[in-house]
A and B are shown apart, each in its own frame.
Chain A
Amino acid sequence: MALNEQKDKKSVQQLIAIQKGKKGKKWFEKSIPVILFVIASISVLTTFGIVFTLIFETFEFFRRVPILDFIFGKEWLPFSNSQPRYGILPLIAGTLKVTLIAVVVAVPIGLASAIYLSEYASDNMRRVIKPVLEVLAGVPTIVYGFFALTFVTPLLQQFIPELKIFNALSPGIVVGIMILPMIASLSEDAMSSVPNSIREGALALGATKLEVAMKVVLPAALSGIMASIVLAVSRAIGETMIVALAGGSTPRFDMDMTDSIQTMTAYIVQVATGDAGYGTTIYYSIYAVGFTLFLFTLLMNWLAHAISKRFREEY
């Protein structure tokens, strides 16, 4: 009896041997990492695609417009029939104005929220505020743009009568509101990762909570905070719909906050919604502007990366 059973049933070792004999399975198993590697390389292809299309079309643009005129030109008049000018500086000025206002709004409020959430708030308070920040971060930028155009600008006009319908101030403030959750939550993460033992040490020496926050936690979390601000600046530079709706389309090379401006992103939108034909200089100019924008944000992202890597505190 026992012997018969042994004959019918195969041992685990035998089963594995049979499995190994199935060539198909083996081939399947080996092809999986190759397929997945190809999928993972698509993100690399995307980057190459972005860089190459931008460089390629920008090169075409520079065959028509001298590169020095583009970099140092103080006039951006692409739609002029008689004398089109392609100097990027007015668009950069517009972008910087909006970014500057956004930073002035978002950094103090964002840092204050981060300090409150990490040092003062009770768990209940945190449970309410954090989802609000998440919702605020998830609001589409087109909604913010509409808000800037129909609410913030009229509101500001009550206090600043000379403010135009399209201006730098209103989109700047709203971009600030848009990047606020980013600064608040990333800085809060950096502050929360400062170990409690350090806080308790300072408290035991008689420091108040404010002194602990300002003199102990803030310096310890500085690299994370700086990185969050730089990342937020990068987001503000690349922000498109808010400035396209509320910023206007008048590129100007000055620091006037109350008049209509144009940012790099808003120019791309203006050309894309207009009817500039394929192959015209105006068509190629959006790639040159896009490339400049790409370089700006890339620089900021690398800076953020370098800051958080270089000054990382390990506890």
Chain B
Amino acid sequence: MRYIDHASVVKRMSGRMIVNKIFQAIFLVATLFALLTLGVLFYRIISQGMGFLTPDFFMNFSSRFPEKAGIKAALVGSLWMMAVVAPVSLILGVGSAIYLEEYATKNKINSFIRMNIANLAGVPSVVFGLLGLTIFVRALSLGNSILAAGFTMSLLILPVIVVASQESIRAVPKELREASYAMGATKWQTIAKVVLPSAIPGILTGGILALSRAIGETAPLVVIGIPVIIQFLPENFLSQFTAMPMQIFDWAKRPQEAYQSVAAAGIIVLMIFLLAMNSIAVIIRNKFQKRY
């Protein structure tokens, strides 16, 4: 008895192969769509903003006249904000990760902390802005200062840093820890001198990527009321300031055509920043990545 009708299989096979090829082409086109979008996006922004990207653009404050508008205040403001976000978010993030990976036992409180971090990662950034407005700007009366914005951004990227640090701490093999204990080291000595040094490239990579998100994030800054027209550079962490995405948002909203180009020039500066940070992250990942 023959279960398979050879003739009909042969007859249908070529059709099925053709359908396979057609769909392969469709899937490829869909995949290339992402590539195309990215290309168009970069091309549009560069061709629009390049003309405004003069040395003056970096030396001027924002202005009522598009040709005199510059990104100086926003660029310096973003750097000041990063000076708050980087230490705060790294200390909080790495500290939480060490606790969860090395000290936490499997009890209800710790699994609650874990679940909480996962949930926090899904909260929209605009809601973090509302938190920052209520707690930092009003309750702690920091005003719309660098500190208030920096704290808000730190909390926003905290889940990302915690998860990235947890992963790289988990990747440190058990044998290293056991060898350290066998030499008589205490738990903290083991963590500080064995685990963290091997985990630091992964932590830095994740941390830099998270910081690059904080640099580009706009919504929380809008909600906590960061001003856009700032004609001075910040003096300390309680100064008013403005940041690059905020400035771009303001330019993009203006009705005059010329401001579109100014906004595009601002976007180029922002994207160069992000690209540089991402490249550093990739270099660290490739250079220090250890395989056990």
Q: Which of A69-77, A78-86, A204-212, A251-259 contacts B (4 or more CB under 8 A)?
A: A204-212
Residues of B within 8 A of A208 (CB): 16-17, 19-20
Let me know if B122 and A53 touch, CB within 8 A: no
- Work out how many contacts link A and B, with CB atoms closer than 8 A: 247
Residues of B within 8 A of A37 (CB): 99, 103
Q: Is the CB of B198 closer than 8 A to any CB of chain A?
A: no
Bound-state Cα–Cα, A16 to B181, Å: 13
Bound-state Cα–Cα, A112 to B32, Å: 10
B182 to chain A, nearest CB (A): 12
Cβ 8 A contact of A146, one of B31, B99, B159, B263: B263
Q: Is the CB of B240 closer than 8 A to any CB of chain A?
A: no
**Which A51-68 residues sit within 8 Å CB-CB of chain B?**
53-54, 57
**Considering only CB atoms, which chain A residue lies closest to B187 in the complex?**
A29
Question: SS class of chain B's interface: helix, strand, loop or mixed?
Answer: helix
Q: Is the CB of A21 closer than 8 A to any CB of chain B?
A: no
Q: Which of A1-9, A128-136, A191-199, A216-224 contacts B (4 or more CB under 8 A)?
A: A128-136
Q: Which of A96-104, A156-164, A287-295 contacts B (4 or more CB under 8 A)?
A: A287-295
Chain B count of residues within 8 A CB distance of the other chain: 85
Residues of B within 8 A of A301 (CB): 118-119, 122
Let me know if B125 and A112 touch, CB within 8 A: no
Let me know if B124 and A43 touch, CB within 8 A: no
Let me know if A42 and B124 touch, CB within 8 A: no
B103 to chain A, nearest CB (A): 4
Residues of A within 8 A of B17 (CB): 208
A265 to chain B, nearest CB (A): 5
Interface centre among A29, A57, A112, A298 (most CB of B within 10 A): A112
Question: SS class of chain A's interface: helix, strand, loop or mixed?
Answer: helix
Let me know if B30 and A269 touch, CB within 8 A: no
Residues of B within 8 A of A286 (CB): 130, 223
A206 to chain B, nearest CB (A): 7
Q: Is the CB of B62 closer than 8 A to any CB of chain A?
A: no
Let me know if A120 and B120 touch, CB within 8 A: no
Q: Is the CB of B242 closer than 8 A to any CB of chain A?
A: no
Let me know if B28 and A234 touch, CB within 8 A: no
Let me know if B125 and A238 touch, CB within 8 A: yes
Let me know if A143 and B45 touch, CB within 8 A: yes
A5 to chain B, nearest CB (A): 22
B230 to chain A, nearest CB (A): 15
Let me know if B23 and A140 touch, CB within 8 A: no
Check A180/B34 contact, CB under 8 A, given A33-B103, A140-B217: yes
Q: Is the CB of A170 closer than 8 A to any CB of chain B?
A: no
Check A49/B218 contact, CB under 8 A, given A37-B99, A305-B118: no
A251 to chain B, nearest CB (A): 16
Residues of A within 8 A of B245 (CB): 140, 142, 241
**Considering only CB atoms, which chain B residue lies closest to A268 in the complex?**
B126
Q: Is the CB of B278 closer than 8 A to any CB of chain A?
A: yes
Interface string of B263-277 (1 = CB under 8 A from A): 110010011001000
Q: Is the CB of A190 closer than 8 A to any CB of chain B?
A: no
Cβ 8 A contact of A231, one of B95, B116, B122: B122
B84 to chain A, nearest CB (A): 15
Bound-state Cα–Cα, A42 to B40, Å: 42
Cβ 8 A contact of B30, one of A113, A241, A305: A113
Let me know if A113 and B24 touch, CB within 8 A: no
**Considering only CB atoms, which chain B residue lies closest to A109 in the complex?**
B30
Bound-state Cα–Cα, A140 to B275, Å: 12
Residues of A within 8 A of B209 (CB): 138
Let me know if A43 and B158 touch, CB within 8 A: yes
Bound-state Cα–Cα, A305 to B267, Å: 35
Interface centre among B26, B31, B98, B184 (most CB of A within 10 A): B31
Let me know if B274 and A47 touch, CB within 8 A: no
Residues of A within 8 A of B260 (CB): 150
Q: Is the CB of B142 closer than 8 A to any CB of chain A?
A: no
Bound-state Cα–Cα, A177 to B34, Å: 8
Bound-state Cα–Cα, A39 to B217, Å: 24
Let me know if B16 and A211 touch, CB within 8 A: yes
Can you list 9 A-B pairs, Cβ within 8 angstroms, ordered by A?
Answer: A40-B96, A54-B127, A113-B33, A120-B28, A136-B38, A146-B45, A150-B252, A211-B20, A244-B249
Interface positions of B (Cβ within 8 A of A): 9, 16-17, 19-20, 23-24, 26-28, 30-31, 33-35, 37-38, 40-41, 44-45, 48, 91-92, 95-96, 98-100, 103-104, 112-113, 116-120, 122-131, 133-135, 138, 155, 158-159, 162, 184, 186-188, 209, 212-213, 215-219, 222-225, 245, 248-249, 252-253, 260, 263-264, 267, 270-271, 274, 278
Please give 5 more A-B residue pairs, beta carbons under 8 A apart, in addition to A143-B270, A146-B264, A208-B19: A113-B33, A141-B217, A145-B252, A210-B19, A272-B225
